[in-house]
Structure 1
């Protein structure tokens, strides 16, 4: 009986569980994570505006694990031993015959004064902090922006910040506060969001102009103060600073012995195999995938696709075959505006941008359908 360990209870890890159980009904599956819960990150943008509560997005996984016959190991991974055949955690060691790593990434918190900003992708607590700070503001300036990883250009998460920006604009208008509130978007790139494609960038910047949102673009971010964003192109005074830093891999990779990219992610191929480490695969934000498009997103949909491929590659290796199923390079994103939305699609052949009021409802329906897997 194969002993397979999965690190992470996010999109990639849970999709890997479902794919493994479908194809290896007798496998011994162990999943390692700090908590037996799934947080649905795409809907964090709705907590500050009151459309969601933290408990709506925090899904206990005990029943899912029972249905899938998964052994849950509660702990934080601290490293690997024996070429990856042993996972070391703060609550003991877990052996395996094969390992799928889907432990996500983390923000690069190196800018001076970054503690004066809030990153919504830090989780439910961060989203609730934004909600509480927002409730205290009747006038003033909110500055929103995101940064990148200079050693790994794709390691950026700008989509949630655009959604938060447009959602706050709609929310403040509904409250009658928008005339007294200034929204400023800042980014070191002159064309932020270029991974979405030129049409999407034009659409996003046009939406900002239509909504009266100021743009401070093309200036390197140098730091933050309590009520100030510092850039090489001048400072932005702000009563609330919302900033998503660039991403890197999880801290424990320093003790993994795995090959890492310049930006700090696990080096893998298009089949989600870790280079020169048989029996180890990666899915989602932890990986840097050689030979793939430079616009490849770090998002839940991509993690799902990579998890399916990681499982297929694992099975191929178990049967002594070379994997032949690369993951699909695809970006699907609904840039939600709370009352409407913009569907952005991109693959290696085409890119499209489709604005439509229906997309907000579609995003809510997709959340409901996706979470049914784990309830």
Structure 2
């Protein structure tokens, strides 16, 4: 299963987890993949959140000692985008919750109930949740748009497509982000790119030379829910910040989910910058 796949996948994950809870024991493995050609397409946050929410639920039901939890990823330092302090905090959490790690080994393939690694070692699990690394959309391969090695559209800082097409703009996950090595494709960046693309197109049409660039807004902002709290992490060009939010963090994240949904449906106003 993948928590970043079709919405129906989340229900299947829930049902399988409920099945294991009723059984009272089992093995759970959560991980994500990597794409060296597309580092910005790797998103581990949802995997970490799900992992720690599994742990929180198992502990609430006093079943944690009956389960074996494993985290797996092909890179040596999954979660490195959070910065040094974030990695230390993750490591402490793994040790505190006795989470097994299978990291630094490429994933060869999946079989039913198994993860097969490049060294032919096998991770067996009753529930496997995996987030594959992102790459360019297949439809782009048959276009005449300039693409990066990972298959994403090349754009300048103003979201205009690089190349002879003067009036073509692109925004969001379909583009290749240029910036620091820790940058990741997140929703707020996609929205800013879309807003600025519209602004720049409008000004181009009316002959106004003013332009807005997305790169000033490149940052990572995440409230990583753990079921019994959360961790706020922020990273910018010249700073990184990690703040533990015991108990209240979980409710902040739930409140954010409601706000996001209601604001998208225009049932509540959008706050500036949110």
- Aligned-pair distance for 1:254? 2.1
2:237 is equivalent to residue 362 of structure 1: no
**Does structure 1 conserve the Cα–Cα contact (< 8 Å) formed by 2:160 and 2:168?**
yes
2:37 paired with 1:170: no
Q: Which residue of 1 aligns with 2:134?
A: 247
In structure 1, stretches of 5+ residues that fail to align are 1-117
Q: Distance in 2 between matches of 1:322 and 1:164?
A: 46
Contact kept in structure 2, 1:142 and 1:241, CA below 8 Å: yes
Q: What whole-Å deviation, never above 9, does each CA across 1:345-370 have from its counterpart, x for those lacking one? A: 01101011111122222212222222
1:189 equivalent among 54, 65, 75 = 75
Given that 1:269 and 1:289 are in contact with CA atoms closer than 8 Å, whether structure 2 keeps it comes out as no
1:221 aligns with 2:107: yes
- Aligned-pair distance for 1:266? 1.0
Matched residue, 1:43: none
Alignment map for 1:1-375 (pairs within 5 Å): 118-137=1-20, 138-233=24-119, 234-276=121-163, 277-290=165-178, 292-322=179-209, 324-327=211-214, 328-357=217-246, 358-375=248-265
Counterparts of 2:244 and 2:5, CA distance in 1: 28
Larger mean CA deviation between 315-324 and 162-171 belongs to 315-324
- d(CA) in 2 for partners of 1:160, 1:139: 24
Give the Cα–Cα distance (whole angstroms) in 1 for the partners of residues 36 and 48 of structure 2: 21
Supply the distance in 1 between the matched residues of 2:204 and 2:160 (Cα, whole angstroms).
10
For 1:122, what is the secondary structure of its paired residue? coil
Alignment check: 8 A CA contact 1:187 1:220 kept: yes
Higher share of residues assigned strand: 1
* Cα deviation code 1:201-221 (max 9, x no counterpart): 221122111111111111111
Separation in structure 1 between the aligned mates of residue 226 and residue 50 of structure 2, nearest angstrom: 8
Provide TM-score, normalisation by structure 2.
Answer: 0.88
Residue in 1 that maps onto 2:268: none
Quote the offset at 1:321 in angstroms. 4.5
Q: TM-score, normalised by structure 1?
A: 0.65
Gap runs ≥5 in structure 2: 266-274
Query: In 1, distance between residues paired with 2:47 and 2:160?
Result: 31
Is the partner of 1:373 in helix, strand or coil? helix
Deviations 1:98-138 (A, max 9, x none): xxxxxxxxxxxxxxxxxxxx111013201111111111113
Distance in 2 (alpha carbons) for counterparts of 1:325 and 1:314: 10
**TM-superposition CA deviations, 1:63-103 (whole Å, max 9, x none):** xxxxxxxxxxxxxxxxxxxxxxxxxxxxxxxxxxxxxxxxx
